[in-house]
Amino acid sequence: MKRWFKRSALPPPALSRSEPPWLFAVALATTLPHAFTQPFWLTAWAGLCWVWALILWRNDRRLPARWLLLPLALAGALAIRIEFGSFFGREPGVAVLVLFMALKLLEMRQRRDAVVVIMLGYFLLLTHYFEAQDIPTALWMLFALWLVSAALLRLHAGALAVRPVLTQSARLLAQALPLMLIFYLFFPRIPGPLWGLPQDAFSARTGLSESMAPGSIGQLVQNGAIAFRVRFDGPVPPKNRLYWRGPVLTAFDGQRWQSGPVTGGKPVIDAAGEDIAYEMTLEAHGQRWLLALDAPRQLPADARADARLTVLLARPLESRQRFRLSAALDYRFNEEETATSRALNLALPAGFNPRTVALAETWRNTRTPEQIVAAALTHFRTEAFYYTLQPPLLGRDSVDEFLFVSRRGFCEHYAAAFVVLMRAAGIPARVVTGYQGGEINPHDGFLVVRQSDAHAWAEVWLAGRGWVRVDPTAAVAPERIERGLASALPAGEPLPFFMRASNDWLRPLLQRWEALNNAWQQQVLGYDQLRQQALLQRLGLPGGWQTLAWLLAGLSTLGLVLLTTLLLYQKRRTPPEIRLWQHALRRTGVHCAPAESPLALAARLARENPETAQRLAPVIESFVLVRYAPDGREHLATLRAAVAALGRRRTP
């Protein structure tokens, strides 16, 4: 017991000169992807700490004292608290890990500090998937995992060369692949985001919202990100019939359109012709609506259509999901409408846009509702209106200024002005937001709908016909509906990068990449509960977590047995003199570094522990003869006898 206390009082082992570069590489590989998502000041802070630690190591200078690192840590934590408003959540949590990693590089004095850096590296690897789950992220994570594991091996294996350490790390990862595949296929698939805190599960999402003001959709179309992908069971409908229905806006305060209250019961759709079936892969947008092709008929089990024909999911869309739907392109919707709904869609704020109201009243007194709709579209078509992403700012009476002064606007300007005209003329009307069109990717056959395809149109209610779609944009810029946004805007308009004509050579490359990424999402990331249940059914197994638990336990046990068998087989392939040498070292409790030769070990033991050196001397002499003498194999029996003579290891 006395010797134990004496041994435990020894200082922990210090890092050698050759070990910090591995830890610098770990810190760089695990934090570099966050440089594109974290605040600039944190990226600069982490970079300065990394460079500072590297310079100190290169010049063999002493690391800063702990009393200096403490205020640096407190200052960094305070800055994170000010930046994010909390320490809890996805983004502040990742920021804290990045801060800790940067500061830990400045106190790498002992072996345990190096272990902390490696453990932080493993944690930071997981956080990369909080921001993206695409192929580049997966490849980078695989590379970083290989590097971090190699650093851990290097830390415990001693002064090995770089190549053997990297090779051994790759071998370990390859051995883990079967177990990883088992867990991928049979671990219960849990719905929801990778990060589940409610307050930030939907952060960093872009898309439509339940409100619209002049310029809101114009800003959205600058984003070329994919909103959803669609694969039709049959031929793809013409582009001018692809209206993807989202939030319906009924409340207008003179400046902004809002969703407003929903009145009425289930929508009544009278469809003509056959439905069009399709599968949609919808990106997470953190809202409940499902952007269905107008008019939606067959819906997913956990979705419903409200009285305004907006398809709503049971819960917000927190992760990319696939849905099976069908739609009727020729239909009538709610031919009978409640008085409450008609009144709600006639409301206008008092005292706004007097010129627009006066124009509509002249139509109201002399024309039928159908003629009023036609007159408004003719007004847009014949007057000098311009379709542009750069309209001038509008004041209090925004519709008056747009219709009679600027006459420049994007789809939300035309839809909003048309609805105000209809309401002022006594026709129930509302704004519908969503997406229009899409582009077929020739490499996988999916219709790709981007944020830049965001659109707004109008609906009017006509007696005997129900709600009828009217798109004023088609009257001003029919090219937008027929061929897409790039064809409708005049030269010089700020288009998303991939839409510019100068980048036509880049579009095929982008399409190939998106097809590859889509395959990754569909086949790998899209492996959800339904596909897992389908796999179990194909294997003839019942569903449920009990089956998955037994499968995981059985297959994991089988994998471990196979791995153990492989290791034992490799051990049997080890030369007998090496096995005897390792056995002798274990019996005597002697540690021999991989780079230490038997004769060097004998010399060291003679200085440090003469008694053990004397016991091990016959083994060392016989081992050297077996390994290096021309007739070495003839001395194997002598070596075996010398090892047997050691007896069991003596307890201190």
Catalytic center residues: 411, 455, 471
CA distance 536 to 527: 13
Cα 91 to chain centroid, rounded: 13
C-beta separation of 80 from 87 below 8 A: yes
Phi/psi at 148 (5° precision): -65, -40
CA angle 302, 263, 467 (to 5 degrees): 90
What is the CB neighbour count within 10 angstroms for residue 358? 11
Burial label for 569, CB within 10 Å (0-12, 13-18, 19+), is exposed
Question: Distance (Å, rounded) from C-alpha 532 to C-alpha 542?
Answer: 11
Tokens standing for residue 598:
């038997």
Greatest alpha-carbon pair distance for the chain in Å reads 119
Find the angle CA(483)-CA(488)-CA(491) to the nearest 5 degrees: 130
Rg (CA), the chain: 35
Contact at 8 Å (CB) between 263 and 341?
A: yes
Contact 246, 433 (CB under 8 A): yes
Asked, as a colleague might, if the bond just before 44 is cis with ω within 30 of 0, I would say no
* Residue among 245, 294, 239, 247 nearest 478 (CA): 239
Half-sphere exposure of 299 (CA within 13 A, CB side): 20
**Alpha-carbon torsion (102, 105, 107, 111), positive or negative:** positive
Taking the chain, what is the end-to-end CA distance rounded to the nearest angstrom? 10
Q: Is 247 helix (H, G, I), strand (E, B) or coil?
A: strand
Contacts of 402 (CB under 8 A, 6+ apart): 214, 391, 394, 408, 409, 413, 417
**Single-letter amino acid, residue 544:** G
Which among 498, 492, 236, 467 has a CA at the least distance from the CA of 334? 467
Task: Identify the helix (H) or strand (E) that includes residue 442.
Answer: none
Which residues are CB-contacts of 648 (< 8 A; sequence separation ≥ 6)? 587
Q: Cβ neighbours of residue 568 under 8 Å, at least 6 residues apart? A: none
- Return the axis-axis angle of helices 40-58 and 90-104, rounded to nearest 10°: 20
Residue 101 near residue 46, CB atoms below 8 Å: yes
Pick the closest to residue 454 from 203, 288, 209 (CA basis): 209
H or E element that contains 431: strand 429-436
In 3D space, the residue among 50, 43, 44, 106 whose CA is nearest the CA of residue 73 turns out to be: 106
Query: How far from the centroid of its chain's Cα atoms is residue 99's Cα?
Result: 22
3-state secondary structure 175-240: HHHHHHHHHHHHCCCCCCCCCCCCCCCCCCCCCCCCEECCCHHHHHCCCCCEEEEEEECCCCCCHH
